[in-house]
Amino acid sequence: MSITQTAGAPPRAPRRPPSLRNLRTAAADPYPLYRTLREHFPLVYDEPFGAWLVSRHDDVRAALTDPRLAPVPSPADGRTPDHREALASALWGPALRALTAAVDRSAFVLARRLAGRESADLVAEFCDWLPTATALAALGIPYEETARVHRWCRAGLDHRGRHPELDAFLRPLVARRRAHPGGDLLSALCTAGDGGRPLSDEAVTHIAGTLLGAAGGTTARALASFLGNLLEHPRQVDVIRARPELAAGAWAESLRRDPPVHVVLRWATAPFGAVPAGATVACLLGAAGRDRARFADPDRYDAFRPDPAPLAYGFQPHGCSGALLAGLTAERGLRALLTTLPGLRRAPGAWAAPEGRFHRSPPALPVRLR
Ligand code: HEM
């Protein structure tokens, strides 16, 4: 069924569509609910949730790229200037070299800390730290500040999309870089321009805050799912150990099967099929990645699947600006673990199921290291 039609219930459809509100009770396993939606209610208004739900792969893709569906304005929009373009060019530009070196350095520091131990929890001791440590290293902020900044980042953004303590911490650093620029990303941002004008202190602080705060949690979650998926398949790990160039595909496959963000919201600026103008649309990335009409055996993790085509980052112009950095973090992080910890494997016993309704990942990854 195309997205421009309303849902007609095929035979044996449940009489009422399930609601995303039910995800509260289905949080341990949302996939049966997603399947019911895909098979019987591919485009349906979810009254308790207050949004139209789109769940099939091709429909979610179409919704994410349709100009009639715009990102839902956040409370911060209009109150803080929009520096998305400057952030995107900072992450793609010459500073990418600094970021790549920072990922490598941080990943090896974290992995070496585990070397010599019997066991560890990769979520608490690796995945949660690597994105923050990487961003700090790239910005040229001393490693000793990682714990403090990590705490602020985990506390989340305020209603203006800012971290007051993080801003206060960054401001003097920005002033210092303006006076004595170096080779780090913070110096690059201080000398970068936005439409011909140099970025203001406010803009540089905001971009650095986004890099540290808004992005860290998502990458940490995705990294946890990625390592979890791989360690469940030790033979696939052996292949990637011998052929590291296959890690990018393995990462894409994990983003397909277990995206860290399960729901992206849009609002209709004009009628969109059955969706009236002004309505909210929930694009179910978690459901789209398991669509058997698009992927053979979609629940299976296969690091070498030929075309995992994840929707996990959305698409430009609204999609994620940090996709490249996130991929680098995953690939270099994996390489550091496999190189430093040759005995790395899943600890015996059952692993805790992934948690979270809209943001989802395993809460812990107990592993043996020797
Ligand atoms: C695996 C890791 C990540 C995933 C899966 C992810 C996913 C997403 C998704 C689904 C969106 C919304 C897209 C949309 O509305 O269509 C988004 C937006 C965004 N992401 Fe990420 N993200 C990740 C890491 C990062 C990183 C490392 C950064 C780095 C700075 C970042 C920066 C942003 C920004 C600035 C936006 C807003 C874009 C806009 O509204 O134009 N993300 N991301």
Is 212 found in the same domain as 103? yes
The answer, yes or no, to whether any atom of ligand 1 lies below 6 A from the CB of 286, is no
The CATH number of the domain holding residue 44 is 3.30.43.20
The answer, yes or no, to whether any atom of ligand 1 lies below 6 A from the CB of 222, is yes
Tell me which residue has its CA closest to atom 19 in ligand 1.
Answer: 320
Decide if 177 contacts 190 (C-beta within 8 A). yes
Alpha-carbon separation of residue 55 from 19, 23, 140, 300, 342 (angstroms):
12, 14, 42, 19, 40
Which atom from ligand 1 is nearest to the alpha carbon of 219? 2
Is 182 found in the same domain as 200? yes
Is 185 found in the same domain as 67? no
Q: How many domains does the chain have?
A: 2
Tell me which residue has its CA closest to atom 31 in ligand 1.
Answer: 322
The answer, yes or no, to whether any atom of ligand 1 lies below 6 A from the CB of 227, is no
Is 363 found in the same domain as 302? no
Is 296 found in the same domain as 272? yes
Pocket test for ligand 1, best of 103, 136, 218, 226 (most atoms within 8 A of CB): 218
Q: Looking at the domain assignment, is residue 227 inside a domain? A: no
Q: Looking at the domain assignment, is residue 57 inside a domain? A: yes
Confidence at residue 157, expressed as pLDDT on a 0 to 100 scale: 62
Q: What are phi and psi of 337, to 5 degrees?
A: -65, -45
Q: Following DSSP, what letter does each residue of 147-185 receive, concatenated?
A: HHHHHHHHH---TTS--HHHHHHHHHHHHHHHHS--SSH
Which atom from ligand 1 is nearest to the alpha carbon of 312? 5
The answer, yes or no, to whether any atom of ligand 1 lies below 6 A from the CB of 361, is no
Ligand 1 centroid to Cα of residue 309, in Å, is 17
Ligand 1 centroid to Cα of residue 219, in Å, is 9
Alpha-carbon separation of residue 46 from 26, 61, 279 (angstroms):
16, 20, 11
Mean pLDDT by runs of 10 across the 370 residues of the chain is 43 70 74 94 92 97 96 63 68 74 93 96 96 88 86 70 82 92 86 74 86 82 98 97 96 98 95 95 97 97 95 88 90 97 94 90 96
Ligand 1 centroid to Cα of residue 321, in Å, is 6
Number of separate helices (H) and strands (E) present in the chain: 15, 10
The CATH number of the domain holding residue 365 is 1.10.630.10
Q: Looking at the domain assignment, is residue 297 inside a domain? A: yes
For 198, the domain range is: 82-219+320-370
Which atom from ligand 1 is nearest to the alpha carbon of 210? 30
Which atom from ligand 1 is nearest to the alpha carbon of 266? 15
In whole angstroms, give the CA distance from residue 242 to residue 27.
37
Is 283 found in the same domain as 325? no
Q: Looking at the domain assignment, is residue 249 inside a domain? A: no
Is 331 found in the same domain as 302? no
Alpha-carbon separation of residue 51 from 44, 119, 246, 282, 358 (angstroms):
9, 44, 39, 6, 14
Is 168 found in the same domain as 268? no
Q: Looking at the domain assignment, is residue 237 inside a domain? A: no
Q: Looking at the domain assignment, is residue 342 inside a domain? A: yes
Ligand 1 centroid to Cα of residue 215, in Å, is 7
Is 130 found in the same domain as 206? yes
Is 215 found in the same domain as 96? yes
Ligand 1 centroid to Cα of residue 312, in Å, is 9
Is 127 found in the same domain as 98? yes
| Residues constituting the chain | 370
Ligand 1 centroid to Cα of residue 318, in Å, is 9
Q: Looking at the domain assignment, is residue 198 inside a domain? A: yes
Burial class of residue 49 (count of CB atoms within 10 Å of its CB; 0-12, 13-18, 19+): middle
Q: Looking at the domain assignment, is residue 243 inside a domain? A: no
Is 201 found in the same domain as 92? yes
In whole angstroms, give the CA distance from residue 237 to residue 241.
6
